[in-house]
Structure 1
Amino acid sequence: MHTIIDYNDTAHRRQVIALWETVFGYEDSHNKPGLAIDKKLAAPDGLFFVAVADDTVIGTVLAGYDGHRGWLYAVAVHPEHRQQGLGKALVRYAEQALTARGCLKINLQIIAGNASMASFYEALGYELEPRVSMGKKVVENLPPT
């Protein structure tokens, strides 16, 4: 059994970093888990949630809202807890938090070719949109590699 709660840096940081390293295997310095957590905590909006079972973090969802669109980031479920509905529960929890803030549309990105994740989100009502995702790293804000 799990519970989804607000992220607490003191209680959850170490476990979230380990989970994200396991699930995502980040390689770029701008995606380092500790940095991502620090940046989110610097913009506190109440949209960072963890799923816990017996005080162990087994899933996360980090969301964002700009006043118009919402975003889902870092939806992660520990491999030992997959296929039990936890990913869906995390997404729905974040959707409810965004909806309560008046969000009009929720976006997310997945890596091209990740068919299993595309299928997961499609089953939750997300649709592939004809968009080109572009990004630019702000070099002066990146940590040294």
Structure 2
Amino acid sequence: MRDCSTGHTRQPTIMTPRKYTEDDEPRVAALWRANFPDYTGYNTPEAVLRAKRLVDDHIYVLEDDGEIIATCMAGYDGHRGWLYSVAVAASRQGEGLGRRMVEFAIERLRELGCVKVNLQIRGGNEEVADFYRRLGFNTEDRISMGLILDP
């Protein structure tokens, strides 16, 4: 793999995703801000991470040399699973890390008894849609609706 910052060929490193810890929050928040720049006041990375930890601990990170380079959150309601916040550092995209995170999260969902996994993608984001299609996901005829509750 060619390291764009140095021009040198970098040998792929085998890394295993792990569960998120509170110490990861600043690094995960920075990665999410870079990947998802449209966070809103009620939906900051820190708020999402803290709220998720109140429910369960299905937040996974991939770390290389002290840097969080990829993330994925998963959820399971006993009926279906969900994937959220799959992110890979821009400097590490194209190395298969997103695939590794998704496959790791899906395996954790499977261990819980999950038989179907859903995710949502913002309209017009065809590059990300193509990524998920390559992983076997299909577009379903659904309407996604939301309601923001006042705190």
Give 1:4's match in structure 2, choosing from 4, 17, 27: 17
Query: When the two structures are superposed, what TM-score results if normalisation uses the length of structure 1?
Result: 0.92
> In structure 1, what is the Cα distance between the partners aligned to 2:66 and 2:36?
22
> Which has more helix, going by share of residues?
1
Q: Specify the SS of the correspondent of 2:26.
A: helix
Q: Specify the SS of the correspondent of 1:50.
A: strand
Residue 90 (structure 2) pairs with residue 73 (structure 1):
no
> In structure 2, what is the Cα distance between the partners aligned to 1:82 and 1:40?
26
> In structure 2, what is the Cα distance between the partners aligned to 1:56 and 1:28?
25
Q: Within 5 A, what are the aligned runs for 1:1-145?
A: 1=13, 2-10=15-23, 12-44=24-56, 46-139=57-150, 141=151
1:27 shift after superposition: 3.4
Q: What does the per-residue CA deviation read over 1:63-95, in whole Å, with 9 as the maximum and x for residues that have no partner?
A: 100011100000000000000000000000000
1:30 shift after superposition: 2.5
Of the two structures, which has the highest relative contact order with CA contacts closer than 8 Å and spacing of 6 or more?
1
Q: What does the per-residue CA deviation read over 1:97-128, in whole Å, with 9 as the maximum and x for residues that have no partner?
A: 00000012100000001010010000000000
The percent of aligned pairs where both chains have the same amino acid is 38
Q: Specify the SS of the correspondent of 2:17.
A: strand
Equivalences, count = 138
Letter in 1 for 2:39: E
Query: When the two structures are superposed, what TM-score results if normalisation uses the length of structure 2?
Result: 0.88
> In structure 2, what is the Cα distance between the partners aligned to 1:3 and 1:78?
16
Unpaired runs of 5+ residues, structure 1, are none
Letter in 2 for 1:134: M
Letter in 2 for 1:28: T
The 8 Å contact of residues 3 and 53 in structure 1, kept in 2 or not, is answered as: no
- Give the superposed CA RMSD: 0.9
Letter in 1 for 2:93: R
The ranges of structure 1 where at least 4 consecutive aligned residues each deviate by more than 4 angstroms after the TM superposition are: none
Q: Specify the SS of the correspondent of 1:3.
A: coil
> In structure 2, what is the Cα distance between the partners aligned to 1:57 and 1:90?
12
Unpaired runs of 5+ residues, structure 2, are 1-12
> Which has more strand, going by share of residues?
1
1:26 shift after superposition: 2.7
The 8 Å contact of residues 81 and 118 in structure 2, kept in 1 or not, is answered as: yes
Higher-Rg member (1/2): 2
